Amino acid sequence: GESVGLHLPTLSVQEGDNSIINCAYSNSASDYFIWYKQESGKGPQFIIDIRSNMDKRQGQRVTVLLNKTVKHLSLQIAATQPGDSAVYFCAEGLNNAGNMLTFGGGTRLMVKP
Amino acid sequence: DGGITQSPKYLFRKEGQNVTLSCEQNLNHDAMYWYRQDPGQGLRLIYYSQIVNDFQKGDIAEGYSVSREKKESFPLTVTSAQKNPTAFYLCASSTSGTLDVFQETQYFGPGTRLLVL
C-alpha cells in the first residue's frame, strides 16, 4: 500500500510492550481531542476521544491522557500487537467552530515481533 | 452495515480534465467533510457541509467544488484549475452524538487516491 507519510517521526516497540505516542496541540482553548489510527492506503480509524474537562479516558487497551497546562496529549497502547502498526494522528477542535478539527502530522508506530 | 464509502479507490486524471470523487454515508450524519492528504503532512480541509444544500470552503478550496443535494452524499469535483491534484482524498462525516462518542468526532471513509496521467 501507499505510504501515508514519508518523513514522520517513528516509534519502534517490541510486541507485548506498552507504547506511548505523544502529541503537542496548538490551541489552549480547544475543547476536545481525538486520536485516529491510519493504516497504509486506508482512511483514518477513530480510536478514542477526550474532552478538555477530563485528564484521562480509557478504552479497550488504550488510554488517552490530557495535560492542558503544557498542551500535551498522549495515547498509551497496552500490550502492543503487530496489528497496531500504523500512523497515529491526534486532532483538536473547538465547540464553537462547528465540529472543525485540526490534525497533527502523525507518528508512525512500528511493532517488532 | 453502516458506514462511509468512497469511490473509486484509484482515479486517474488527464490534463485539463475535471474528475468527481464520490462519498456516501448511511449513518444519518448531518455534517460531511473533504480532506486532502499529502505524504508527510497532516489532513487539510477542502470543503465541509453542516447540512443539506449548504457547504463552506475549508483551508484549501481553490480548484475544487462540491455539492450537497442529499444528506447521504457529498461529491467532490477536482477541476482543471487544481494544478497539483495528486493526493489521497478522504471524506468524513460527524456523528449526532451518543453516550460513548462525542458529537464532534469525525468518521472517515477508505479514501480515493487521485493520480495525474
pLDDT mean over B9-31? 93
For the stretch B58-72, pLDDT in tens is 999 999 999 999 999
CA distance A93 to chain B (A): 8
Q: For residue B75, is the peptide bond before it cis, meaning its omega torsion is within 30 degrees of 0?
A: no
CB contact under 8 A, B37 and A4: yes
Q: How confident is the model at residue B1 (pLDDT cuts 50, 70, 90)?
A: low
CB contact under 8 A, B40 and A99: no
Please determine, for residue A106, whether its predicted confidence score (pLDDT) is greater than 60: yes
Using the structure block, give the residue that is written with the C-alpha cell 475549508.
B58
Q: Does A56 touch chain B (CB under 8 A)?
A: no
Q: Is A2 exposed, middle or buried (0-12, 13-18, 19+ CB in 10 A)?
A: exposed
Cα B90 to the center of its chain, rounded Å: 5
CB contact under 8 A, A32 and B109: no
Tell me how far CA of residue B82 lies from CA of B12, B29, B62, in angstroms. 14, 29, 7
- Alpha-carbon span A80 to A74, nearest angstrom: 15
Q: Does A105 touch chain B (CB under 8 A)?
A: yes
pLDDT of A101: 87
A43: closest CA among B41, B32, B10, B90?
Answer: B90
Q: Does A58 touch chain B (CB under 8 A)?
A: no
What does the mean pLDDT of chain A come to? 90
- Please give the span between the terminal C-alpha atoms of chain B, in angstroms, as a whole number: 35
CB contact under 8 A, B111 and A3: no
Q: Does A48 touch chain B (CB under 8 A)?
A: no
pLDDT mean over B83-96? 89
Phi, psi of B77 (to 5 degrees): -105, 125
- Identify the three-state secondary structure at position A95: helix
CB contact under 8 A, A104 and B102: no
Contact A67, A90 (CB under 8 A): no
pLDDT of A100: 80
pLDDT of B2: 62
| Reduced 3-state DSSP string for B40-85 | CCCCEEEEEEEECCEEEECCCCCCEEECCCECCECCEEECCCCCCC
